[in-house]
Amino acid sequence: MVDYHCSLLFVGLIGFFRGNLVDILRSIPYSAINYGVYELVSIRLDSLDKKHPSIQHLISGGTAGMFAVICTYPFDILKTRVYISQKGTTDTVLKSMHKGVVKVGFRSLYKGLGVNLLSVIPNMALSFTSYEYIRKWLREHTSLSLVWVSMFSGALSGCVANTITFPLHLVQRNLQVAGMGKNVKKYKSAGECVQFIYAQRGIRGFYSGLLPQYLKTIPKCALSYCIYELSKQVCGV
């Protein structure tokens, strides 16, 4: 009986990491493109105009998010579908995605991209902008080291950006998994998805799952911004 319960516990814990390998395969190039493009665009804009840093951060962050999403979006769809798949295997979902490519072409791998861009572009614009201002304030008013400043700034900026853009993120996720499984509704458009969510739970429905998103965002942004700053220091940027 003890072994049976231990097995159930193990299987339950594995469920928390379903799709984790795919997420790692997506996160590495996504982060590299995201921070790399942000740095390149920031340097370029800074050479043109130093009087409007907020606009520079917003444009640089939005551009970085756009390029990162376009390059890695198929991995994002794969991760989401593996996570909600009843069979829960990457191989099964890959076969399903292959059938979609054969049937309607590679555009099936970019289903929901428009809504994703509408979510990610303002999210990264707000994230990088708030990060720069929080980092500047902490450096001027505290004696924290570079590591702690970047981690605190990253965590707070991630929360700010996700709070504002979470409704768009929710719509994007719903579109990615539309029609998968018996209990997953299939939407004809993003507008229909928005109407359905509002009809079911009102405004609160657009923030369903925000707390788990915070639990993911805080450590993720803290670590990624910290690595970003340390990488800049090592490279002498």
Report angle CA 226, 232, 237 to the nearest 5 degrees.
150
Distance between alpha carbon 13 and the CA centroid of its chain, in Å? 23
CATH superfamily of 2-235: Mitochondrial carrier domain (1.50.40.10)
For 87-109, letters b (16+ CB in 10 Å) and e give eeebeebeeebeebeeeeeeebb
The answer to whether the predicted template modeling score (pTM) of the entire model surpasses 0.85 is no
Residue 101 contacts residue 26 (beta carbons within 8 Å): no
- pLDDT range class, residue 92, cuts 50, 70, 90: low
- Residue 177 CA to residue 30 CA, distance in Å, equals 21
Chain-centre distance of CA 191, in angstroms? 21
Give the model confidence (pLDDT) of 167-206 as tens digits. Answer: 988 887 777 666 555 556 677 777 888 888 888 888 888 9
What is the rounded distance in angstroms from the CA atom of residue 67 to the CA atom of residue 75?
14
Contact 121, 62 (CB under 8 A): yes
Given a cut of 80, whether residue 160 has pLDDT beyond it is: yes
Query: Tell me: the pLDDT tens digits for 59-82?
Result: 999 999 999 999 888 877 776 666
Q: Is pLDDT larger for residue 169 or for residue 138?
A: 138
Identify the residue with better confidence: 2 or 156. 156
Residues 6+ apart with CB under 8 A from 192: none
Q: What is the mean pLDDT of residues 150-167?
A: 95
Q: Side-chain half-sphere of 89: how many Cα atoms within 13 Å? A: 5
Mean model confidence pLDDT for the chain: 80
- Give residue limits of the domains in the chain: 2-235
